[in-house]
């Protein structure tokens, strides 16, 4: 293996990537999946983790282009150069460019996108070309690669681990840390007294607490919550979510960000999503929602946006008349703004900053004020 002259490498282990545009040779889902699979190849052998962003500057910007495309390294039409990438660093560094004059395919009938992406991402992480013909980082594209049994060669693993070391935990170690491991600076800490959540939802008897690119998963059988990257379960979801709620009748969780929402069943995002939130019946003035909770018994879903709320009738599949109403009128003591909301044990739980309001919907009053991270048994 070889590394770039000067040994450029990322000084952080959590990297962002963005798929800037798409080739017409493949469906968007196929491109998304190929990139995710290619990132996972490197994620599995290093401490590196990746999360996808949809706008702005990511560490790794991934794009398709033909001929001259603004980096003084023009592509050359079909064949010959199929892609290139830049060593770790700011701006164009770390980026991946695919030559869209190639025929990008999911199999090896054309140029396999996954295989090329895995190679180019090796460059984005700091690997140069290897002279080992078995290595992924060998410069010549090998159309006979067995995709079903693709594995990094030892040469590739030695190369990337010379830059970043091995993954933090061997597979047989427990997923949930047995002792409190102080998180890396950019990771949220469940014991941070100021911890607030972006979104909270039940899921088949569990409770998910979303924050930034991560979420805690509280399960009935585990005292300590698990901590995961959102992208580990839902690679296509953005980070910094706005709201989430479970639809018990549909066995789905709806995830909201900006003016879009996704439907997930388990960790499968349902076809046809994301959709616009206005398809649920919100007026155009609502640009995003702050929180959502589902009342399992009454089959109603409550949506909170700024100082107002709406109620959605699960049976009629439409927003109820007479809404929006003011949160302060019907949930006195809650607010002013709601970050996340949850129904459990007959109570509504409203998360606002580092505080959590337990609200009795029958007595129509706040019965307890707790810390937001109270559920996580810090």
Residue choice 141, 150, 248, 347 for contact with another protein (CB under 8 A): 141
Residues constituting the chain: 378
Q: Are 252 and 206 in contact (CB under 8 A)?
A: no
CB of 31 to another protein, least distance (A): 18
Please identify, among the stretches 111-119, 152-160, 185-193, 327-335, the one whose residues bind another protein according to the rule CB under 8 A.
111-119
102 part of the interface to another protein, by CB under 8 A? yes
Tokens of 246: 């479970």
Residues in CB range of 47: below 8 A, 6 or more apart: 13, 164, 165, 166, 167, 168
**Count of residues touching another protein (by CB under 8 A):** 25
Phi, psi for residue 205 in degrees, rounded to 5: 90, -10
133 part of the interface to another protein, by CB under 8 A? yes
Lookup result for tokens 């707790």? 370
Q: Report the distance separating Cα 313 and Cα 143, nearest Å.
A: 54
Identify the sign of the CA torsion 151, 157, 163, 168.
Answer: positive
75 part of the interface to another protein, by CB under 8 A? yes
273 part of the interface to another protein, by CB under 8 A? no
Closer residue to another protein (CB): 136 or 245 = 136
95 part of the interface to another protein, by CB under 8 A? no
35 part of the interface to another protein, by CB under 8 A? no
64 part of the interface to another protein, by CB under 8 A? no
Residue choice 57, 131, 320, 360 for contact with another protein (CB under 8 A): 131
CB of 155 to another protein, least distance (A): 13
Residues in CB range of 168: below 8 A, 6 or more apart: 47
119 part of the interface to another protein, by CB under 8 A? yes
Tokens of 163: 């830059």
Please identify, among the stretches 24-32, 137-145, 175-183, 341-349, the one whose residues bind another protein according to the rule CB under 8 A.
137-145
Tokens of 247: 């639809």
CB of 157 to another protein, least distance (A): 19
Give the single-character DSSP code of 270: P
Q: Confirm whether 120 is a catalytic residue.
A: yes
Residue choice 16, 49, 111, 343 for contact with another protein (CB under 8 A): 111
Comparing CA positions, the residue from 160, 143, 267 lying closest to residue 217 is 267
Q: Of these residues, 43, 102, 120, 246, which one is catalytic?
A: 120
Q: Are 118 and 136 in contact (CB under 8 A)?
A: yes
Closer residue to another protein (CB): 116 or 343 = 116
85 part of the interface to another protein, by CB under 8 A? yes
Give the single-character DSSP code of 75: -
What is the C-alpha R_g of the chain? 23
Interface positions with another protein (CB under 8 A): 4-5, 73, 75, 79-85, 99, 102, 111, 116, 119-120, 123, 128-129, 131, 133, 139-141
Q: Catalogue the active-site residues.
A: 120
């Amino acid at each position: 293996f070889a590394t770039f002259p000067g040994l450029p490498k990322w000084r952080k282990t959590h990297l962002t990537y963005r798929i800037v545009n798409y080739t017409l040779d493949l469906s968007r889902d196929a491109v998304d999946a190929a990139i995710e699979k290619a990132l996972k190849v490197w994620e599995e052998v290093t401490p590196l983790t990746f999360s996808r962003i949809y706008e702005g500057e990511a560490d790794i910007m991934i794009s398709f282009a033909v001929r001259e495309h603004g980096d003084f390294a023009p592509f050359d039409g079909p064949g010959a150069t199929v892609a290139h990438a830049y060593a770790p660093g700011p701006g164009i560094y770390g980026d991946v460019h695919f030559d869209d004059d190639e025929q990008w395919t999911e199999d090896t009938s054309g140029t396999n996108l996954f295989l090329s992406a895995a190679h180019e991402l090796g460059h984005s992480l700091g690997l140069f070309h290897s002279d080992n013909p078995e290595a992924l980082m060998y410069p010549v594209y090998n159309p006979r690669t067995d995709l079903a049994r693709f594995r990094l060669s030892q040469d590739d693993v030695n190369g990337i681990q010379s830059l970043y070391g091995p993954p933090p935990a061997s597979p047989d170690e427990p997923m949930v840390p047995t002792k409190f491991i102080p998180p890396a600076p950019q990771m949220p800490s469940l014991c941070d007294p100021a911890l607030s959540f972006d979104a909270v939802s039940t899921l088949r008897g569990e409770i998910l607490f979303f924050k930034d690119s991560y979420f805690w998963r509280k399960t009935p059988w585990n005292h300590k919550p698990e901590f995961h990257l959102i992208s580990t379960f839902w690679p296509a979801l953005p980070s910094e979510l706005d709201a989430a709620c479970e639809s018990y009748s549909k066995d789905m969780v709806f995830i909201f960000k900006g003016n879009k929402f996704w439907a997930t069943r388990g960790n499968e995002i349902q076809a046809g999503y994301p959709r616009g939130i206005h398809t649920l019946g919100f007026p155009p003035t609502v640009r995003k929602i702050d929180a959502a909770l589902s009342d399992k018994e009454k089959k109603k879903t409550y949506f909170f946006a700024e100082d107002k709320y709406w109620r959605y009738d699960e049976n009629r599949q439409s927003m109820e008349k007479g809404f929006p109403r003011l949160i302060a009128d019907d949930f006195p003591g809650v607010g002013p703004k709601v970050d996340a909301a949850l129904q459990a044990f007959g109570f509504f739980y409203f998360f606002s900053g580092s505080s959590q309001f337990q609200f009795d919907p029958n007595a129509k009053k706040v019965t307890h004020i707790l810390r937001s991270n109270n559920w996580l048994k810090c």
